[in-house]
């Protein structure tokens, strides 16, 4: 991505860096010279050390609690690390081989694929739809945006609780509505019975959480589009549908790409919603849930490391492919 | 034609409202009902009662005690993590934006690289590190993990904001003999207030939403945040859904009010954080 390019120019930052060491100290050096010039030098030295002091805590956090743990995950995934089966020893690709021989793990890959497909498609489509609704100014738009971001702000676990009230077989809203329309019999079980129905319904809860960000990203991209473009198209006889498909959608690609990537990362790592809505039941368990079960219930840390590494690699590779495929830089 | 467009527009607005609010409404409704009333599935609470909240907030006993402790825990953990994250991110973001030092590029890329990894990559090693330092079941352990998770994004957002600020005022102050820290405190911080508020809000909301990390890092109720305790209640069938929903409403009250009150800051912060 183009993240690094926002570092300021050397030229821009350089003059700012000189004065603290040079200018104020220089003025004082004349008067201090008789006394030996020590405080000025000390001040200059302190100014030079300051940036290191400012970034030191961040550096410690990054090294100690991000880079070292990440290295651990990579290295230990090739070790047999299980407190019930000591000592920790090198095991080559043993962990990976055991994972692929484990049916629950294989199933969780399928489940996660289900979460990803349902989640990415629904959150992107809904995000584009909501962005179109909120695109032009109207009275109450600010309130609507505030309401829109609500689900994003709430903890996934508690969202699971909110939605159990909707999915509950006997007192849930969904069954109530469906059975009053005579679409289902009263009290039919929605979660945990049928694998794909379970996955779709659980993912709906996560879509509820991630759609606000998708909407905002697409909306921000739409806000950059010049009005004249649509006026010109309208004069040329382009209807609203046509201008949506031919102009809005292609020009919103940068926003849509970022929206898809955030949805991908969230859905590939889904944990809270299936954990709460479906408990420890294996119907619909995601890869992250399996990682948790393997490491913290079976205490097979080696297997957990290997599975974490796999999800990380999959996430990075798929995100990269999406960015390459969907993202287009657009200059107006 | 125009009429149809207007109807479509209001239908779209209604869709946004229904989609965002119905699950919250249903939970609020259930939380002010008795168990019998909840089973009747009315769309509005016919005889609203605050009984469930009274039970959770004032009654003594196992469950209410646990909920109150978990509420205290989540406030402490999120508050501490937010303060530490914002302070450290401001200092580092400013250094990256305005100062020259050795290793600046390398460190900056390291910060960005950590943002690319899914958070759960480091779940198991972080647990092991915390248990090696006896920090499992401590506030310190949870806050350290939260800060390490949120610091890269916060630094990135604040760095971008500092870079976008006009540099003239700072240069003038430096030439007039102000020190770097004086410039930071008197000029940069007041000007960067919107970005700092955005960063603090987003960090706080992220921290409030955490579940898997505290689930692993706190095994007893001394440090378990509300999210972990509520998820544990869900599995227990003895807890009535009305009480569970009241606890859920308590857990979403703070983030929901923050989101409604400060939505502009949150929208700006989110867009600054994800548009690269």
pLDDT in tens, A89-116: 787 788 899 899 888 899 999 999 999 9
- Mutation for testing the A interface, residue in B9, B11, B16, B187 having most A CBs under 10 Å: B16
Mean of pLDDT over chain B = 90
Closest partner residue to A275 (CB to CB) among B26, B216, B231 is B231
- Mutation for testing the B interface, residue in A75, A134, A158 having most B CBs under 10 Å: A158
The pLDDT of residue A191: 77
Residue A54, min C-alpha distance to chain B (Å): 5
The pLDDT of residue A280: 57
C-beta atoms surrounding B21 within 10 Å: 14
Percent of chain B's residues with pLDDT above 70: 97
What band does B39 get if pLDDT is binned at 50, 70 and 90? confident
Q: What are B181-198's pLDDT values in tens digits? A: 899 999 999 999 999 999
What is the DSSP track for B180-223? HHHHIIIIIHHHTHHHHHHHHHHHHHHHHH--HHHHHH--STTT
What band does A9 get if pLDDT is binned at 50, 70 and 90? very low
Q: Which residues numbered 238-267 in B keep a CB inside 8 Å of some CB on A?
A: 241, 244-245, 247-248, 251-252, 255-256, 258-260, 263, 266-267
Nearest one of A117, A110, A100 to A307, comparing CA atoms:
A100
User: Which distant-in-sequence residues (6+ apart) come within 8 Å of B31 by Cβ?
Assistant: B52, B53, B242, B245, B246, B248, B249
Closest partner residue to B275 (CB to CB) among A72, A138, A220 is A220
The pLDDT of residue B130: 95
Q: What are A37-63's pLDDT values in tens digits? A: 566 676 677 778 899 999 999 999 999
Residue A2 has pLDDT above 60, yes or no: no
Cβ-count burial A5-39 (b if 16+ within 10 Å, e if not): eebbeeeebeebbebbbeebbeeeeeebeeeeeee
CB contact under 8 A, B179 and A154: no
Q: What are B136-149's pLDDT values in tens digits? A: 999 999 999 999 99
The pLDDT of residue A134: 93
Cβ–Cβ < 8 Å for B92, B147: no
Residue B172, min C-alpha distance to chain A (Å): 10
Give the CATH number of domain B60-274. Answer: 1.10.3720.10
Residue A6 has pLDDT above 90, yes or no: no
CB contact under 8 A, B209 and A156: yes
What band does B274 get if pLDDT is binned at 50, 70 and 90? low
Chain B positions touching A292 (Cβ under 8 A) are: 123, 212, 216
Q: What are A180-226's pLDDT values in tens digits? A: 777 766 666 677 778 888 899 999 999 999 999 999 999 999 988 88
CB contact under 8 A, A62 and B110: yes
CB contact under 8 A, A217 and B27: no
Cβ–Cβ < 8 Å for A40, B144: no
CB contact under 8 A, A275 and B258: no
Any A CB within 8 A of B22 CB: yes
- Mutation for testing the A interface, residue in B8, B42, B43, B99 having most A CBs under 10 Å: B99
Stretch among A167-171, B42-46, B96-100, B102-106 having the lowest mean pLDDT: A167-171
Q: Which residues numbered 120-149 in B keep a CB inside 8 Å of some CB on A?
A: 120-129, 144-145, 147-148
> Could you tell me which residue, A283 or B167, shows the higher pLDDT?
B167
Q: Which residue of A has its CA nearest to B261?
A: A146
SS3 A184: coil
Residue A84 has pLDDT above 80, yes or no: no
Region B263-268 average pLDDT: 92
Rounded to two decimals, the ipTM of the complex is: 0.91
* Residue A308 burial by Cβ neighbours in a 10 Å radius (0-12, 13-18, 19+): buried
Size of interface A-B (CB pairs under 8 A): 315
* Residues carrying CATH 1.10.3720.10, chain B: 60-274
The pLDDT of residue B275: 53
Region B107-117 average pLDDT: 88
Cβ–Cβ < 8 Å for A216, A135: no
Region A255-283 average pLDDT: 87
Closest partner residue to B118 (CB to CB) among A142, A152, A315 is A315
Residue A36 has pLDDT above 50, yes or no: no
What band does A25 get if pLDDT is binned at 50, 70 and 90? very low
Mean of pLDDT over chain A = 82
Cβ-count burial A244-278 (b if 16+ within 10 Å, e if not): eeebbeebbbbbbbbbbbbbbbbbbbbbbbbbbbb
The pLDDT of residue A44: 73
Whole-prediction pTM value?
0.88
């Amino acid at each position: 991505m183009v993240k690094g390019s926002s570092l300021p120019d050397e030229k821009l930052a350089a003059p700012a860096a000189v004065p603290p060491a040079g200018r104020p100290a220089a003025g004082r050096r004349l008067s201090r010279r008789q006394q030996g010039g020590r405080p000025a030098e000390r001040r200059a030295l302190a100014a030079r050390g300051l940036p290191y002091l400012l970034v030191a805590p961040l550096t410690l956090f990054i090294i100690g609690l991000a880079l070292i743990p990440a290295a651990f995950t990579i290295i230990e995934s090739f070790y047999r690390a299980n407190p019930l089966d000591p000592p920790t020893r090198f095991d080559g690709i043993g962990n990976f081989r055991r994972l692929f021989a484990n049916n629950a793990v294989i199933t969780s890959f399928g489940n996660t694929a289900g979460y990803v497909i349902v989640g990415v498609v629904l959150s992107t489509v809904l995000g584009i739809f909501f962005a179109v609704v909120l695109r032009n100014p109207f009275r109450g738009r600010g309130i609507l945006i505030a309401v829109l971001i609500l689900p994003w702000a709430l903890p996934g676990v508690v969202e699971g609780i909110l939605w159990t009230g909707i999915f509950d077989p006997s007192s849930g809203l969904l069954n109530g509505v469906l059975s009053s329309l005579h679409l289902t019999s009263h009290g039919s079980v929605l979660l945990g019975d049928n694998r794909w129905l379970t996955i779709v319904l659980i993912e709906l809860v996560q879509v509820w959480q991630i759609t606000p960000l998708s909407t905002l990203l697409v909306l921000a991209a739409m806000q950059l589009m010049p009005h004249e473009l649509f006026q010109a198209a309208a004069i040329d006889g382009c209807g609203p549908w046509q201008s949506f498909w031919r102009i809005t959608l292609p020009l919103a690609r940068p926003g849509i790409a970022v929206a898809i990537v955030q949805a991908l990362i969230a859905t590939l790592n889904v944990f809270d919603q299936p954990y709460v809505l479906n408990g420890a039941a294996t119907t619909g368990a995601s890869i992250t849930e399996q990682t948790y079960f393997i490491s913290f219930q079976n205490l097979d840390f080696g297997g957990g490391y290997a599975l974490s590494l796999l999800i990380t690699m999959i996430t990075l590779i798929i995100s990269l492919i999406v960015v390459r495929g969907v993202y287009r830089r657009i200059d107006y | 034609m125009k009429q149809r467009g207007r109807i479509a527009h209001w239908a779209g607005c209604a869709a946004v409202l229904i989609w965002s609010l119905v699950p919250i409404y249903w939970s609020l409704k259930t939380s002010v009902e008795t168990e019998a009333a909840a089973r009747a599935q009315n769309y509005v609470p016919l005889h609203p009662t605050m009984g469930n909240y009274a039970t959770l907030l004032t009654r003594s006993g196992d469950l209410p005690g646990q909920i109150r402790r978990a509420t205290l825990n989540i406030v402490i953990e999120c508050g501490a993590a937010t303060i530490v994250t914002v302070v450290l991110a401001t200092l580092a973001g400013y250094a990256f934006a305005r100062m020259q030092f050795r290793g600046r590029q390398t460190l900056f890329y390291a910060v960005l690289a950590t943002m690319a990894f899914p958070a759960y990559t480091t779940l198991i090693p972080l647990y092991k590190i915390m248990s090696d330092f006896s920090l499992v079941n401590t506030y310190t352990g949870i806050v350290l993990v939260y800060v390490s998770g949120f610091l890269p994004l916060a630094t990135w957002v604040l760095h971008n904001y500092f870079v976008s600020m006009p540099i003239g005022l700072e240069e003038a102050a430096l030439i007039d003999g102000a020190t770097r820290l004086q410039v930071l405190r008197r000029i940069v911080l007041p000007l960067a207030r919107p970005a700092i508020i955005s960063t603090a809000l987003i960090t706080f909301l992220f921290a409030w939403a955490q579940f898997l990390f505290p689930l692993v890092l706190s095994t007893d109720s001394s440090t378990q945040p509300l999210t972990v305790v509520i998820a544990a209640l869900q599995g227990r069938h003895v807890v009535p859904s009305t009480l569970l929903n009241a606890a859920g409403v308590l857990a979403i009250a703070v983030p929901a009010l923050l989101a409604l009150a400060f939505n502009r800051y949150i929208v700006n912060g989110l867009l600054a954080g994800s548009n690269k």
